[in-house]
Structure 1
Amino acid sequence: MSSYEDYSRSSAAYDHTRPAQGVEIIRRVLSQNPVPLEAQVLVDAGCGTGQYTAALSNELYRIRAFDLNEGMLSTARGKLEPEIAAGHIDLRQASIDELPISDESADAIMVNQVLHHLVDDPAQGWPAHQKVFSEFARVLKPGGRIVINSCSHRQLGEGFWYYCLIPNALDRVRKKTLDLDPLAHLLRRSGFIEIRHEAAEKLIMQGDAYFDAKRVLDPRWRDGDSIWALATEAELQDALEKTRTLLEAGKLEKFMRHHDKRRAQVNQLSFTWAQKNS
């Protein structure tokens, strides 16, 4: 469903660069539902390669996972085939603003690093996001919960050391990203209450690979963060040339550590959760 990343191409490398981070936070939020975890129907909206669905598949009654990109879904099918065959997981191609499920049929929804891929217009009040949140409210049971994994604007600016290599791409992704306060506002307009935000301490989107600075030069590593798709070819080549120069001078590690200093204060990921008003 991305408006800028070619996930049909990058899906093959995605599992190797993007572990399912924050599963324990999602589990904690889902456990607040009046329905026991093992009896819940969970929607994974924008499931990608199924990393989060796989991580939670043994803990819920059923997971209904949706993504618009067939490349991502093909990878997900490969890892989830037994659960799909057993009917425990329903994996389908669909847009998250038109989910092919009945009204008030889900106990919970999770949305992991998806919303910034929507084609939207901040000047008009983020109508595409509003449509998605209204759709989530439609399919959730009264009192059901939603949990959204995203990055705040501050986290984008200070939480990723290599973003300084592509500052124009950083500006572009900020403009596509709904910050936490307007996110809460749109959720309220869609009928959600008890909205909370939590910065996920110590979680790194790309795991240990994030600290291997020379992997900026590896296109498979870059496929793990869609911000690179927002860089022009000239901007990408400038970033790669600077990385090579620092590496050859023995200064790349120091550069990475310097630009990673603020991450410990701001973290990389934010989890927002809310309850559908009953």
Structure 2
Amino acid sequence: MSKYEDYNSASRNYDNQRFAMGSDVMAAMIQFHCGKPLKDLHVLDAGCGTGNYAKALIDYGVGQVTLLDASPGMLEKAKVKLADAIESGKIKEVVEATMPPIPFPDASFDAVMFNLVLHHLDPTGSGNFIEATQTLKEAVRILRPGGTVIISTCLPSVITHSLWYAQLNMSLTKRFNKIMPSVKQLDEMFEVCQLRCEQKLNILGSDLIKDYYNFEGPLDKSWRDAVSYWKFATPDELNDVKQKVLELKEAGELEQWAKEHDHANTSGYLTILFCKDI
């Protein structure tokens, strides 16, 4: 689904590092906000990737999930992972498409979820979030009455102050943050799309990235490939990051520095927003 990352390539190792963080909370809140048992819900996983969140929701008891992604490589991984669910009909459809638009009829789904997706749609850093806003409008259109839109994201303030690796090079972090909508920018998008945010939750911990506390990770391309943040690094910035990590390691200070600059366990990593059509 990304406008700047090659997820066909990334799909080969994606599941080695990524976990469906917050999926338990999503399952509970989808049921609560829709007012229906999980077994009666049809959820669109918009920008589904390799299907981690879809699998988690099905395991928690969601009746049906439809998968949508722009990357054939990601969808192939999802089809293998969810082969039993596809055979049983719990995965209703697997659709390859780029958002926006979202290619489904009006009122098709009880819930539409965007898990770390919206920031992939407007890569220019202009702050307008035109494509993301249009995609949310489409989500409202395909939502059934009483349904909910779920958005998970990493807020710029969290990236800047809570994630240790983002503090290795602040010029890179400031540039990356331009594509990450803030709470204020999300609220502005919601107003345009006639959405009301019912609930905002921060999920504490670092479970999104399985090897998050590998403090030598920035030296390893496969580790960096798990996080889209690194796609914005210039060669000079990447060299600066590697040099800083190596210098801290040589001085025996890398672990201490990283722990002092990391607050994922107290401030959170992932923010989840639950929205209803006005």
* Bucket of the pairwise TM-score, normalised by the shorter protein: over 0.9
Does the Cα contact within 8 Å between 1:20 and 1:51 map onto a contact in 2?
A: yes
Name the aligned partner's letter for residue 26 of structure 1: M
Does the Cα contact within 8 Å between 1:120 and 1:127 map onto a contact in 2?
A: no
1:240 Cα offset (Å): 1.4
Deviates further, 228-237 or 198-207: 198-207
Does residue 214 of structure 1 match 2:216?
yes
Q: 1:257 to 1:69 in 2, by over 3 A?
A: same
* Equivalence for 2:204: 201
State the TM-score, normalized to the length of structure 2.
Answer: 0.92
Does residue 140 of structure 1 match 2:143?
yes
Instruction: Name structure 1 gaps, 5 residues minimum.
Output: none
State the TM-score, normalized to the length of structure 1.
Answer: 0.92
* Equivalence for 1:230: 232
How far apart, in 2, do the equivalents of 1:128 and 1:141 lie?
22
How far apart, in 1, do the equivalents of 2:187 and 2:208 lie?
23
1:65 Cα offset (Å): 1.0
Name the aligned partner's letter for residue 108 of structure 2: S
Does the Cα contact within 8 Å between 1:168 and 1:231 map onto a contact in 2?
A: no
| CA RMSD in angstroms, aligned pairs only | 1.8
How far apart, in 2, do the equivalents of 1:21 and 1:96 lie?
23
- CA deviations 1:212-255 (Å, max 9, x no partner) are 21222221111111100100122112211221222233221112
Q: 1:166 to 1:28 in 2, by over 3 A?
A: same
* Equivalence for 1:55: 56
How far apart, in 1, do the equivalents of 2:140 and 2:88 lie?
28
Does residue 170 of structure 1 match 2:161?
no
Q: 1:238 to 1:122 in 2, by over 3 A?
A: closer
What is the total number of aligned residue pairs between the two structures? 275
Residue in structure 1 matching 2:194, options 191, 195, 199: 191
* Equivalence for 2:155: 152
- CA deviations 1:7-58 (Å, max 9, x no partner) are 1222111111111100121012111112221110000010011110111124
* Equivalence for 2:268: 267
Does the Cα contact within 8 Å between 1:104 and 1:139 map onto a contact in 2?
A: yes
* Equivalence for 2:130: 127
Instruction: Name structure 2 gaps, 5 residues minimum.
Output: none
Does the Cα contact within 8 Å between 1:98 and 1:135 map onto a contact in 2?
A: yes
- CA deviations 1:58-89 (Å, max 9, x no partner) are 41121011110112112111211221233321
Runs of 4+ with deviation above 3 angstroms: 120-125, 262-265
Residue in structure 1 matching 2:103, options 81, 100, 104: 100
Does the Cα contact within 8 Å between 2:4 and 2:123 map onto a contact in 1?
A: no
* Equivalence for 1:20: 20
How far apart, in 2, do the equivalents of 1:264 and 1:138 lie?
37
* Equivalence for 2:255: 253
Residue in structure 2 matching 1:179, options 172, 177, 182: 182
* Equivalence for 2:71: 69
